[in-house]
Amino acid sequence: MNPINVTVGKKEFFTGIGKIPYEGRESDQPLAFKYYDEGRRVGGKTMKEHLRYAVAYWHSFCGTGSDPFGPGTQALPWLRGKTPLESAKWKLDAAFEFMSKLGVPFYCFHDTDLSPEGATLGEYEKNLQTMVRLAKAKQKESGIQLLWGTANCFSNPKYMNGAATNPDLLITAHAAVQVKAAIDATVELGGANYVFWGGREGYQYLWNTNMKRELDHLGRFLRMARDYGRRAGFKGSFLIEPKPCEPSKHQYDFDSATVIGFLKEHGLARDFKLNIEANHATLAGHSFAHELTVASMNGMLGSIDANRGDEFNGWDTDQFPTNLYDVTEAMLVVLGNGGLGAGGLNFDAKVRRNSTDVEDLFLAHIGGMDTFARGLLCAHAMLEESALPGMRRARYQSWDSEAGRRFESGKMDLLALRGLALKNHVPSRTSGKQEKYENLFNQFLR
C-alpha cells in the first residue's frame, strides 16, 4: 500500500487538525492513536496491511444527522457550492483532506455520494465521469485507494418498490444504467471490489409479492452485471452485503447463509463474496463473529463493514465499532481466514446526530481504528500464546481416528456407524469447558 500524503484542496476544511499521530497507550491526547501504529508488525504483516481501513463516503461526507424525527443537525462546511456539481467538488476536497489526515489507505462510495444525479440519465452519467476524473487525481496525490464502489439504487423514489426486484421492468432498467456506470467508475479508479447492498430488494408485504419471480430477476440481474464487469476489465470480487430488514420489512439478502445459498443457486459463487456488516448481523439474530465465520468457512469472506448496533434498538444504528469483545472475535475469524485478501475494514458508521463538532468525525474514526488495532493484538496473542486453539483442536480428536476418517470420507454407512456404538455402550460425557475458554478469552483481552 502507498504512503498517505495529507491532501488539502483550495480551502482547508479541518483547520487546526493535522495528520493524526500514533502516541501509544498512555497518551491522553484525544486526537491521537493509542493502538493503531500502522507500521507495527503483527505476525508477519503490518497493522496497515492487516486492517486495510476504509472511510465510507456517504456517512462521513454526505450525512448530516437527519433521522425520521428531524432534519440534519451537522453543518458540513463543504456543502457550499452554487451548483450540485460544484458542491460535489468541494466535498471531494473535504473527503481527501479528512482521509489523508486520518491516514486511512482506502475509501468506498456510491455513485450518488460522489456525484450529483442530474436531471437526466445522460447528465447522471456525465457528472459521474467528471467526478471520477477528479477523484482519480485525488487518489494519485494522496495515495489513497478505492476499496470498493457501488450504485445507490434505493434512495431515488423510483426505486420505492425495489431495483432488480421491482415489479416494473423499466425501473430495473434504470438500475442497470447506474450499475453499469458505477462498475465503469470502479474500474477506472482501480477499485478492488464492487459491492451490492440489497437496498430495497425485499418486500414490504408478502401478499402483493411474487417472491420467486423477484428472486429470479435478482439472480439474472447479478449475472448481467458480473458479465458486464468482466468484459469491462473488472478483476476484483463482487460482494453482496447481507441485511435482514430495513428499509424493507424483509430484505432478500437476510444473512450470510441465505446469500450463500442464493449465490450458489444462481451460478454466482465463483465471482461473488460477502461484505459482512456487524450491525446487519445482529439485526438478523446472529453475532458479528457468527456471520464472519459462515462466510469464511465457505471461502466467501470478502470484506467487512465495521460498525456496531445497539442491543436494545431494533434498527441499524450504524455506530462506530468500540466493543473490544466483538472486534477481537472478528479479528480471530479474519486471522483464521488468512486475512482479508483484497477486502478491508470499511467504517460504515456515522457519528451520533448530536455529535456536531467537526472533531467528532475524527474522534469517531480514531476510536474505531484503535479498537480494531487493539483487537488485532488480542486476537493474535490468543492464537499464538494461549491454550485456546489447542483446546479446540483436541476437542475433535476422536474424528482424527481411523473410524473418523472413514466417516468423513464417506466410506462408512449407517450400520457400520451403529456398530461402533454397539461396541461402546457407555458413552462418556465430555465437558464443553465454556467457562474455561471464557476466562482465557478475558485474560487475553488487554
Give catalytic residue positions. 110, 113
Residue 76, CB-side half-sphere exposure with 13 Å CA sphere: 26
Cβ closest to a second copy, residue 339 vs residue 367: 367
Min dist. Cβ of residue 411 to a second copy (A) = 10
Grid coordinates of 3: 504512503
Cβ closest to a second copy, residue 7 vs residue 309: 309
- Smallest CA-to-CA distance from 60 within 375, 371, 355 is with 355
Strand bridging mode 106-110 / 53-56:
parallel
Identify residue 189 by its one-letter amino acid code.
L
Min dist. Cβ of residue 296 to a second copy (A) = 9
Partners of 33 in the β-ladder: 22
Strand bridging mode 272-277 / 237-241:
parallel
Question: Cα(279)–Cα(292) distance, rounded to whole angstroms?
Answer: 12
Question: Cα(369)–Cα(365) distance, rounded to whole angstroms?
Answer: 6
Chain position carrying cell 456471520: 291
Partners of 239 in the β-ladder: 195, 273
Min dist. Cβ of residue 384 to a second copy (A) = 15
Q: Residue 341: which region, alpha, beta or left (left: phi > 0; alpha: psi -120 to 50)? A: left
Cβ closest to a second copy, residue 159 vs residue 196: 159
Grid coordinates of 35: 493502538
Cβ closest to a second copy, residue 140 vs residue 395: 395
Cβ closest to a second copy, residue 83 vs residue 428: 428
Question: Cα(237)–Cα(272) distance, rounded to whole angstroms?
Answer: 6
Cβ closest to a second copy, residue 10 vs residue 425: 425
Min dist. Cβ of residue 126 to a second copy (A) = 13
For 21-51, b/e burial (b = at least 16 CB within 10 A) is ebeeeeeeeebebbbbbbebebeeeebbbbb
Min dist. Cβ of residue 193 to a second copy (A) = 18
Min dist. Cβ of residue 120 to a second copy (A) = 6
